[in-house]
Amino acid sequence: MKENATIRAIIVDDEDLARQVIREMLKTHPEIEIVGECANGFDAVKSVAELKPDLMFLDVQMPKLDGFEVLELIGSEVAVIFATAYDEHAIRAFEVHAVDYLLKPFRAERLNDALLRAKERIGKKPAAGPDQLAAAARSAEFAERIVVKDGTRVHIFPAAKLDYAEAQDDYVALASQGKKYLKQQTISSLEASLDPKNFVRVHRSYLVNLERVSRLEPYGKDSHIAILSDGSRLPVSRSGLTRLKEFLGEKA
C-alpha cells in the first residue's frame, strides 16, 4: 500500500443514522473516499462487484442477506470492519479475518484504530479462504439456505431445494430446480455445511439430496448410477453406494 493513496470505502447498514455516523467520522480522514452506501445485503454485493472498494464497513443484521452472507459472496478481497450492536458475532468475525469489530455506539478514536489496521491489511493477500467464509456465514449448526453470486446478481435458495452438487476444480456446481449455479467452494466444505441426514456424498465429486433419489441402477462392473426424480444421472462410487444404501434402508 502506497503512502497517501486513496482508500475507496463503502458503508453497509440498513439504518440511515448508522451510516451517517460513520460518514461523519470519516470526514477527518481525507485519504478515505466513500464510494457507496448500501442499505441491504443485496446492494452490498452488487456495489462490491461494480465499485471494487478497498474497505467496507459492514453491519451484521440487515434485510435480504446478513453481513456474513455478504462476505461469503464477495470473497476476502475487501478489508472489512464490522459495525454492529451485537457482541455475539465477534468470534465469527475473527474467523473470517475481519480487520476489526466495532460495537455500536463507538468513539471516533475507536474508528481511527480500526482504520490504522485496515491500512496495514489493504493490498496484502487475503487471509480467509472461501470455505472459511462459507463456514462463518452459517448461523445454525447446518446451513438453512444457500447463497450464490452470479455476476452482480445474488441467488438465495433453501438448502432443501438443492438437488445435487458437483465438484468442478475450485468450484461446486449447485443444481436446484432445473438451474445450475457455480460457487467458489469445495464440495467437502459444502458437505460439512449441510445436514448429513439429507445430503449424502455418493461420489468423490458428487453430493446428492436424498429426497431426490428415485432409484439406483448398476453401471459397469462394480459401479452404480443414481437416477434423480428430475432424470439427472449421477455416478455412485462403491463407498458412495454403501452410504446411500444405509440411508435408503436397503430398498434400492
Partner 1 sequence: MHPILSNFRRLLLYLSAWGPVSAILVYLFATIGGLSWGRAAALAVPLCLYYAIVCLSAWYSCRNSPAANSAAWLKHLAAALITSIVWVAVAKGLAIALSSFFQTFAGLDHQVSRVNPLLLGSGVFLYLLVVALFYILLSNEAAHEAARREIEAQSLARESELKALKTQVNPHFIFNCLNSISALTSSDPATAREMCIRLAEFLRKTLGLGERSQITLQEEMDLIHAYLSVEKMRFGARLKLEESIEPGTLLYSVPPLLLQPLVENAIRHGIATLTEGGWIRLEINNGTPGLLAIKVENNFDPEAPRRSGANIGLKNVRQRVDAMYASRAKFDVTAGEGRFQVSMQLPAQTA
Among 3, 88, 169, 222, binds partner 1 (CB under 8 A): 88
Closest residue by Cα to residue 44 from 81, 76, 10: 10
Note whether 141 binds partner 1 by CB under 8 A: no
Determine if 17 is a binding residue for partner 1 (CB under 8 A): yes
Q: Which residues are registered as beta bridge partners of 100?
A: 81
Q: Is 109 in the site for partner 1 (CB under 8 A)?
A: no
- Asked if residue 103 binds partner 1 (CB under 8 A), the reply is yes
Least spacing, CB of residue 86 vs partner 1, in Å = 6
- Contact residues for 69 (Cβ-Cβ < 8 A; gap 6+): 41, 137, 147
How far, in Å, CA of 10 to CA of 50, rounded? 12
C-alpha separations of 74 from 28, 90, 133, 158, 226 in Å: 28, 19, 10, 20, 34
- Binding of partner 1 at residue 152 (CB under 8 A)? no
163 binds partner 1 (CB under 8 A): no
Q: Based on the shown chain and the rule CB under 8 A, indicate whether residue 196 belongs to the binding site for partner 1.
A: no
Residue 208 · residue 235 · CB < 8 Å = no
Sorted by sequence, the CB contacts under 8 Å of residue 16 that are 6+ apart come out as 39
Retrieve residue 211's grid coordinates.
429426497
16 binds partner 1 (CB under 8 A): yes
Residues numbered 35 to 64 that lie near partner 1 (CB under 8 A) are: 39-41, 61, 63-64
Kindly state the smallest distance separating residue 136's Cβ from partner 1, in Å: 13
We find the least distance from the C-beta atom of residue 85 to partner 1, in angstroms, to be 4
Q: Does 18 bind partner 1 (CB under 8 A)?
A: yes
Of the candidates 58, 56, 68, the residue with the CA atom closest to the CA atom of residue 118:
56
Q: Which is nearer to partner 1, 35 or 146 (CB)?
A: 146
Q: Using CB under 8 A, pick the residue from 65, 71, 73, 208 that binds partner 1.
A: 65
* Residue whose C-alpha is closest to residue 166's, from 131, 130, 201, 198: 201
Whichever of 179 and 204 has its CB closer to partner 1, that residue is 179
State the minimum distance, in angstroms, from the CB of residue 39 to partner 1. Answer: 6
Give the burial string for 193-205 (b: 16+ CB within 10 Å, else e): bbeeeebbbbbeb
Minimum distance from residue 63 beta carbon to partner 1 (Å) = 5
Contact present, 42 and 65 (Cβ < 8 Å): yes
Among 4, 140, 141, 231, binds partner 1 (CB under 8 A): 140
Q: Which residues sit at the interface with partner 1, rule CB under 8 A?
A: 14-18, 20-21, 24, 39-41, 61, 63-66, 69, 85-86, 88, 103-105, 139-140, 144-145, 156
